[in-house]
Amino acid sequence: MAEEVRAFLTASDIAVNIFPYDFEQPGITPDLEGVDLLIVLGGDGSLLRAGHFCAPLGIPLLGIRSGRLGFLVELDDSNLPQYLEKLLRAQYRLENRMMLRAELFRGDKHVQGWDVINEAVVCRGNEVRPIEVRVDLNEGYLTSYIADGVIVSTATGSTGYALAANGPILPPELRNILIIPIAPHLSLDRGVVLAEGAAVNLYPTIQHDVVISIDGMDPVLLEEGDRVHIYANRHSLQMVRFGEANYFYRNLAAVMQRNPILELEKHD
């Protein structure tokens, strides 16, 4: 499919480079100097990984589905030539997706930081026991969760892990921050939607393994006294979109009603 896309674009004098990349084993970051558009072939997970490369550089991203799930990816091989032609004619729009920034502090020391497209998750590690996470906002204390974990999500991430944890579905261009507990026990069990200017601080109590994971990437083990500070990122992910304004809800209904198990049985 990558060669098909390259052949189509080079026929119109568009310079195209192919970057083979194993998103499950991240290594060298592709050299995107001089790139005007990044096209990723895969599912939503691949698009998220590619988004981490291009968002800080302001490079728009176009997804072409070759995986199963497609909340984020708009095109597939059935409509590829038609929409590549629209791309060449500039018949598209750029959809700006709000991102988050997550910073890990150990005491007063800054340990690590991440750009977040979907969600930051603080959750239990190997032991199947709930954890306690205190949540503070700009204004001060919000609540303490006893749960499997806490998700802090963008509107983009509201159709990801947050959806599986019974969170609300937000239109993708909303600039809000969503807090969702995972399997809460005797705790606030509703999602909280915050304005873009909010800042969230998570304080896990460490009695057994507690980790943080960003956009489904490898987890990082947390320690007692750690603080995770999350706020709106100065970067946004620019996604190339061809659909009209209501495309999200139409695609949402189609994906939510899809049953992969029945499809497999049908093909068998």
Catalytic positions, please? 44
Vertex 94, ends 91 and 98: CA angle to 5°? 165
Q: Residue 39, SS3?
A: strand
* DSSP result, 21-38: --TTS--SPP--TT-S-E
Q: What is the dihedral of CA 144, 149, 154, 156, to 10 degrees?
A: -150
Residue 74 DSSP SS3: coil
CA distance from start to end of the chain: 25
3-state secondary structure of 249: helix
- Rounded to the nearest angstrom, the gap between the alpha carbon of residue 236 and the centroid of all alpha carbons in its chain is 12
Which pair of tokens denotes residue 88? 């060449």
Nearest to 69 by CA among 91, 44, 89, 87: 44
Supply 146's token pair: 């006893």
Q: How far apart are CA 71 and CA 247, in angstroms?
A: 11
